Structure 1
Amino acid sequence: MTATAVVTGLGVAAPNGLGIEDYWRATLNGESGIGRITRFDPAGYPCRLAGEIGDFDPTEHIPGRLMPQTDHMTRLALAATDWALSDAGAVPTDLDEFGMSVVTANAYGGFEFGHRELEKLWSRGSRHVSAYQSFAWFYAVNTGQISIRHGMRGPSGVLVSEQAGGLDAAGQARRHIRKGTPFVVTGGVDGALSPWGWVAYLSSGQLSTGDDPARAYLPFDTAAGGWVPGEGGAIIVVEEAEAARARGAAKIYGEIAGYSSGIDPAPYTGRPQALPRVIRQALADAGLEPADIGVVFADAVGLPEPDRAEAEAITEVFGAGAVPVTAPKTMVGRLASGGSALDTATAFLALRDQVVPPTAHVTDPAGAAADLDLVLAPRQAALHSALVLARGTGGFTAALVVRAAA
């Protein structure tokens, strides 16, 4: 019999809320965490808005010995892990160290840390560069720091597939559960809100140049003109169902029921996008039909062509207006690998409270999006299963089906 992977704990670090309840309240109220960048002066750049986490004091959450060796996003990941473990009622020292693994996703690594150390190298010389630069910038650093801090020595890893990473990490966590590891910390926390990282974002040519936080990031809208970067994400505790019950898990949010991934073909090939196929495979993996899905959490790039392609994929699988679609990331920005992890946590909160969160700020659905039942205000609904979609730079595509606890 295949092991069931259930979610027992959530930890959220988002621009509009720290911790699941603050984040969830803000999201249902349509409260945005997007604003003008404060981490550095953005006046000289064409794009000046971001989803920053401004009320996080790492010294309240991170031991002093870790401060010199961690980037801002790793500190957020460590704090979110603590919150997720507490939410799960799990004490790592009470569990088998080889029965706990860590699988996170990350796209940018410790950009801010790396920026600071390279600045020292150029201005003061190599002797002034921190030895911690050797790993603090690395994509796998969150997995490493979480596993070391909590003594988690089971099979671990990191997924690097940009926005799709949070779903890919959840899929890998379920594989570990099915292969016999009973306890997995997964998810993703990301961000690169430093001048160096900002140049990397700008190189995509896809960022919104608007200065009004309420009108800058408008996926599926006639005014869509780019996306807004953000920082943060979510950490999720996944356990084998019987093991969770045996240890007396405080709660079970639901199950990771289905997963699939793919890669979009190069545009010049003329081959169809991967998303419809990936959606169908994730549904089949979960043993569900399209009619069983109560809500779709869209990837929602915020550019006309990718939005059109996603709307067409959803309509192809589900039918026009047949399923509620939402993109609460309009309140936080696109968080790279943290974005789909946050959407996954949000989906479980939606299942818990039987409410679909809104796609804030969007007022005029455009073109193919007119065929979507786009949720613009919180909507009560009988939700049993949800589908989370993500597409990353380079063609990465993923779909995750989550199901409410029985």
Structure 2
Amino acid sequence: MNEPVLVTGIGVTAPNGVGVKEYWNATLEGRGGIAPLTRFDASGHASRLAGQITRFDPAEHLPGQLLPQTDVSTRFALVAADLALADAGIDPRDLVDYDMGIITSNASGGFEFTHREFDNLWSKGPEFVSVYESFAWFYAVNTGQISIRNGMRGPGGALVAEQAGGLDALGHARRTLRLGTSLVLSGGVDSALDPWGWAAHVSGGSVSRATDPARAYLPFDRSADGYVPGEGGAFLILERASAFRRRPSGQVYGEIAGYAATFDPPPGSGRPPGLRRAVELALDDAGLGPGDIGVVFADAAGRPEPDRAEAEALRGVFGVRGVPLAVPKVLTGRLYAGGGPLDVVTALLSLREGIIPAVPHAVDVPAEYGIDLVTGESRDTDATAALVLARGRWGFNSALVVRAVASDA
């Protein structure tokens, strides 16, 4: 059942905007959410910038009984899911419960929640540990909480592949729809900006130590020295085209046209990284060639070696400066499981609006990279298909193709 899988609703919780309109306007205007970390006193760390969601009161969005049992990342997920459903004009109570699925991705689990409860355990005793610790820390908790809140009893899943996981969730959601489910809510979020989570971020040695938010995260730049961690992400409503047609009204942002995932070979094997192969497989899955892709939303690691490897993969597929390259995550930081779905949202909006968002600051890209990075000002486009890339730590590669379609698809 390989009928088209359509995106009919979007929900965003990002450092530079909650809600799709606020996020898109901020992205086009070059307004970022990267700033000094305020969640705790980070003055003792060499890295102190993060993409935080600061203007967000969960009590304004969620019922009081959910707050004691949820980590901040789950609150972002619940709100993004609510926004996506509202954007699609869907009330889950009007649909068959077993015909609605939920596929999420999360790379950190409920970091802040579980670390707070660990502190209670060690400093006060087991009787002070929340009973909700039994599930609030878990990678699959967002799938569970969203399904309970919305009565979604269809196929469920949770994928963990660090930055690549969000695209994997969308790819798995498409597969689930083609197996017969009518609607799947899918995407990812992450948040690990508590003291222990921050220590985990910086311990890997890949986080930027810059103090200027505008110069902290410089993917593909000659002086790139690390990325900025962020929080949040996006959820999307995916529907089979035939199911969407049965609804009395609705909108279509585009189609999930192709998806592929690969894994890098072990270091020292002499075999090439798997990113280029993921791109080629995703294009083949979509039935498209390199010339059909009008813009690529890059993984953009912000470190010389992986940036060079990504540029090489893109040159190999598209040729030297063969396709415009967008990196909207310079405004938010890398959102881990939330990063891929947020890039997919941006890609769909770019195709719909005919504009590619720019990296707002100057970037010194080495000539040998051979890439066409969109910088300075946004660029008009008549593209009808876009490629989104994501790579996760330890070798995960994911590629997803989105395509513009008519609203009556």
Q: Which TM class, normalised by the smaller chain length?
A: over 0.9
Aligned to 2:212: 212
Q: Which runs of 5+ in 1 are unaligned?
A: none
SS at match of 1:120: helix
| Partner amino acid, structure 1, of 2:171 | G
Aligned to 2:178: 178
SS at match of 2:364: coil
Q: Distance in 2 between matches of 1:224 and 1:362?
A: 12
Task: State which drifts further: 196-205 or 388-397.
Answer: 196-205
> What is the root-mean-square deviation in Å for CA atoms of aligned residues?
0.9
Aligned to 2:308: 308
SS at match of 1:208: coil
Identify if the C-alpha distance between structure 1 residues 134 and 362 changes in structure 2 by more than 3 Å, giving closer, same or farther.
farther
SS at match of 2:197: helix
Task: State which drifts further: 345-354 or 287-296.
Answer: 345-354
Aligned to 1:100: 100
How far 1:249 sits from its partner (Å)? Answer: 4.1
Identify if the C-alpha distance between structure 1 residues 110 and 249 changes in structure 2 by more than 3 Å, giving closer, same or farther.
farther
- 8 A contact 1:221–1:362 mirrored in 2: no
Aligned to 2:373: 374
Query: TM-score, normalization: structure 1?
Result: 0.99
Aligned to 2:19: 19
Give CA deviations for 1:85-109 in whole Å, capped at 9, x if unaligned. Answer: 0110111000010000000000001
| Partner amino acid, structure 2, of 1:6 | L
Whether 1:338 and 2:332 are equivalent positions in the alignment is no
Give CA deviations for 1:18-53 in whole Å, capped at 9, x if unaligned. Answer: 100100000001111000000001100111000000
Give CA deviations for 1:124-170 in whole Å, capped at 9, x if unaligned. Answer: 00100001001101100111100000000001000000100111000
Aligned to 1:81: 81
Runs of 4+ in 1 over 4 A off after TM superposition: none
| Partner amino acid, structure 2, of 1:374 | L
| Partner amino acid, structure 1, of 2:51 | G
| Partner amino acid, structure 1, of 2:71 | D
- 8 A contact 1:330–1:361 mirrored in 2: no
Aligned to 1:40: 40
How far 1:113 sits from its partner (Å)? Answer: 0.4
How far 1:362 sits from its partner (Å)? Answer: 4.2
How far 1:191 sits from its partner (Å)? Answer: 1.3
SS at match of 2:214: coil
How far 1:9 sits from its partner (Å)? Answer: 0.3
Give CA deviations for 1:343-398 in whole Å, capped at 9, x if unaligned. Answer: 011111111101111123342112533x1110012111002000000000110000
Aligned to 1:202: 202
Aligned to 2:28: 28
Q: Distance in 2 between matches of 1:159 and 1:11?
A: 19
Give CA deviations for 1:58-84 in whole Å, capped at 9, x if unaligned. Answer: 000011010000001110110111110
Q: Distance in 1 between matches of 2:219 and 2:12?
A: 23
| Partner amino acid, structure 2, of 1:132 | Y
Give CA deviations for 1:178-224 in whole Å, capped at 9, x if unaligned. Answer: 00001000000111000010111112110000110000100001120
| Partner amino acid, structure 2, of 1:49 | L
Q: How does 1:183-332 map to 2 (within 5 A)?
A: 183-332=183-332
| Partner amino acid, structure 1, of 2:373 | L
Q: Distance in 1 between matches of 2:347 and 2:332?
A: 15
SS at match of 2:78: helix
Aligned to 1:117: 117
Identity of aligned residues (%): 58
Q: Distance in 2 between matches of 1:115 and 1:264?
A: 32
Q: Distance in 2 between matches of 1:274 and 1:373?
A: 22
Whether 1:159 and 2:169 are equivalent positions in the alignment is no
- 8 A contact 1:90–1:249 mirrored in 2: no
- 8 A contact 1:311–1:368 mirrored in 2: no
How far 1:245 sits from its partner (Å)? Answer: 1.7
Query: TM-score, normalization: structure 2?
Result: 0.98
